[in-house]
Structure 1
């Protein structure tokens, strides 16, 4: 019996967007949060409490130099948590009233889908983030031991080697964040919304960034600033920032990736 020839899947079509599309997506995200605040606040608080627990757990065990990159790197796993917000936005767009049962069932269903592999990609980049800090610390400051955050800050901000460490760490960390953003910005909502494989989704996500570099990079910077500010009050600001950004990312995806044919 002759074998059926392999037909590669048709990649999603990507639309170019502008800054007004980004602003419209953000406004739609705020509207979704206002319409269904209970989901955002509860899930956002759980995420924030996870950040507090992580910092409390590593506070006495992790070296001083690792605490700041762990805190700054924690939001890198946010896009995976935002799956619930994507579903709420999708339900509202389709005229459905989202329920806790629907949202929780969808989140649990992802354990058997491609989103699990995407989570592994996110966590892999997160660990690279941590280890590149350790490598740069060794290159610039040797294997010096710091007794407290104040002594680490004193060396990092007042010595040529420390400033070199901060500059190079910021550049390398920014590049890693850009890579992760490009791989996931539309890939995670695409995997939720369409029957696609992880490679196709990541390629489509990179293509969406390349098709609209200025709007997409502006969105990346805006997200980074919002998350940084939201973490300052003991991570609690994430209870508001994370759901709004999650809803907005869904709307950005619908403007960027053609959903038909999925």
Structure 2
């Protein structure tokens, strides 16, 4: 397997491995195996994510902003990598043969507040905020100030009027760009920060280099996860109960295949 060394001085020497589509398939297979081995943990973290989505939808309805439900629901999976930290820890412990318990997993999750992962959380939430802001901006540009007051009316305007279709097209392109940037910066950096004491800038650069050096398999992984995440939103976010833990475990295994630390 071809490798490229990244010299980080006193930090762990990180090597980016060449990936193939078989590695992506194997990562998902391993992720599914971890979920089946520890379903209670997976459902717990998936429930946090799903309930968070439902809470946002309820609050938007309460504040008479139902037309924001769809943009928020589409952008909501962007924060998935941060929520999946506990799942990375489960896969890490399972892979190393360490004991897996609620105390050990949750203690490691809370310990991340004192490490560089907290800075990555800021990056993730900042890009999510940009997503929401650009949606509001595009609505003002293409739909003006007569945004429908109900979700059904909003969907009708977006799908049946020229301004709505233009808003949908431009918003999709902008959203795809933001999602690609975030995926590139976090897909490897999140599990790397959990696994090693490196700074978040090094982790982000390593993640970006990994995607750049392995564009086809990495982007295929991202597109598949994104498609599953969007589909899982349809039944009241309930699909996230399974999709999030499987994707989280799979991300860990893809990271382990992509990066070798010495």
Tell me the CA shift for residue 12 of structure 1.
2.0
Q: Which residue of 2 aligns with 1:4?
A: none
1:45–1:238 CA contact under 8 A, matched in 2: yes
In 2, distance between residues paired with 1:144 and 1:173?
23
Runs of 4+ in 1 over 4 A off after TM superposition: 7-11
> Which one of 153, 156, 180 corresponds to residue 182 of structure 2?
180
Match of 1:213 among 212, 215, 228: 215
1:1-80 equivalent positions in 2, closer than 5 A: 9=11, 12-61=14-63, 63-80=65-82
Match of 2:192 in 1: 190
Work out whether 1:253 is the aligned partner of 2:255. yes
**1:148 Cα deviation from its structure 2 partner:** 1.2
Q: Which runs of 5+ in 1 are unaligned?
A: 1-6
1:235 counterpart residue number: 237
Residues 163-172 or 35-44, more deviating: 35-44
Deviates more, 1:93-102 or 1:169-178: 93-102
Per-residue Cα deviation, 1:150-184 (whole angstroms, up to 9, x for no partner): 22222211111111110000000000000000000
Higher strand proportion: 2
Deviation at 1:11, TM superposition (A): 5.8
What TM-score comes out, normalization by structure 1 length?
Answer: 0.93
- Greater mean deviation of Cα atoms: 56-65 or 178-187: 56-65
Q: TM-score, normalised by structure 2?
A: 0.93
Residue 167 (structure 2) aligns with: 165
How far off its partner does 1:259 sit? Answer: 2.5
Distance 1:160 1:256, change over 3 A: same
Q: Which runs of 5+ in 2 are unaligned?
A: 1-8
Report the RMSD for the aligned CA atoms in angstroms: 1.5
- CA shift for structure 1 position 42: 1.6
- 1:115–1:198 CA contact under 8 A, matched in 2: yes
Cα distance in structure 2, aligned partners of 1:29 and 1:190: 17
Q: Tell me if structure 2 keeps the 8 A contact 1:64–1:146.
A: no
Tell me how far 1:255 sits from its aligned partner. Answer: 0.5
Q: Deviations over 1:60-107 (max 9, x none)?
A: 215343221111111111101111111111111111231101101001
Deviations 1:191-246 (A, max 9, x none): 00011001000000000100110001111110011111111111111111111110
Any conservation in 2 of the 1:11–1:204 contact (CA below 8 Å)? Answer: no
**1:86 matched to 2:83:** no
